[in-house]
């Protein structure tokens, strides 16, 4: 049962989606030595769909894009990539509303305390508009994409696909 504990995610009540506190992570190599997907299941009423985080190899380490639940097993899979490809340098939360990714960001940022954290403009919370540090985003190393620059501009091209207005906040 020790292995089952590595899939435990204690923050599931913040976004109570199936499979609740038990998030298995599968790592797939999409481009050999360059791009990996870490996938977990989530759903409502036992209809589960995958949620995906991408891990991209940069010249100076790794970039995590769209964090998923930071279970011990998920962190261990990333640490294995760090051993071969260098440390996690950057974490990107690519959506202003995407709760399925936003709830994983603070724990992922704690797991990789040297990484710079980038978020899209227009971050919001519901039902109260709380500042990002109150939501667990580390104030000293959180930057806003485009407003504060762009990470790894020498290696990546960044495009904005929004915002799209949605009732309580943008997407």
**Greatest extent of the chain over all pairs of C-alpha atoms, in Å:** 46
- Phi and psi at 73, nearest 5°, equal -65, -40
pLDDT score recorded for residue 2: 44
pLDDT score recorded for residue 68: 92
Does position 169 have pLDDT exceeding 60, yes or no? Answer: no
Q: Give the predicted TM-score (pTM) of the model.
A: 0.85
pLDDT score recorded for residue 170: 56
Q: How sure is the predictor about 164, in pLDDT bands with cuts at 50, 70 and 90?
A: low
| 88 in Cβ contact with 61 (< 8 Å) | yes
Tell me the HSE value of 68 on the side-chain side, using a 13 A CA sphere. Answer: 29
Does position 168 have pLDDT exceeding 70, yes or no? Answer: no
Total length of the chain: 171
What string of DSSP letters covers 16-81?
A: --BTTTB---EEEEEETTTEEEEEEEEEETTEEEEEEEEEEEETTEEEEES-----HHHHHHHHHH
Does position 63 have pLDDT exceeding 90, yes or no? Answer: yes
pLDDT tens per residue across span 12-53: 777 777 777 788 899 999 999 999 999 998 888 777 888 899
Terminal Cα distance for the chain, rounded: 39
pLDDT tens per residue across span 127-157: 777 888 888 889 999 999 999 999 999 999 9
């Amino acid at each position: 049962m020790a292995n089952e504990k590595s899939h435990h995610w204690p923050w599931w009540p913040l976004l109570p989606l199936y499979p609740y506190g038990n998030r298995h992570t599968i790592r797939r190599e999409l481009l050999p030595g360059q791009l990996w997907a870490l996938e977990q299941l989530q759903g409502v009423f036992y209809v589960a769909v995958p949620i995906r985080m991408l891990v991209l190899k940069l010249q100076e380490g790794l970039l995590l894009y769209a964090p998923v639940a930071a279970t011990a097993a998920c962190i261990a899979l990333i640490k294995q990539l760090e051993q071969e490809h260098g440390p996690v340098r950057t974490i990107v939360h690519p959506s202003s509303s995407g709760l399925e990714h936003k709830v994983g960001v603070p724990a992922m940022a704690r797991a990789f305390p040297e990484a710079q954290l980038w978020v899209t403009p227009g971050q919001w919370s519901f039902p109260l508009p709380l500042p990002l540090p109150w939501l667990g985003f580390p104030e000293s190393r959180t930057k806003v994409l485009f407003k504060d620059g762009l990470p790894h501009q020498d290696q990546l091209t960044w495009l904005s696909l929004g915002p799209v207005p949605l009732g309580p906040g943008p997407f």
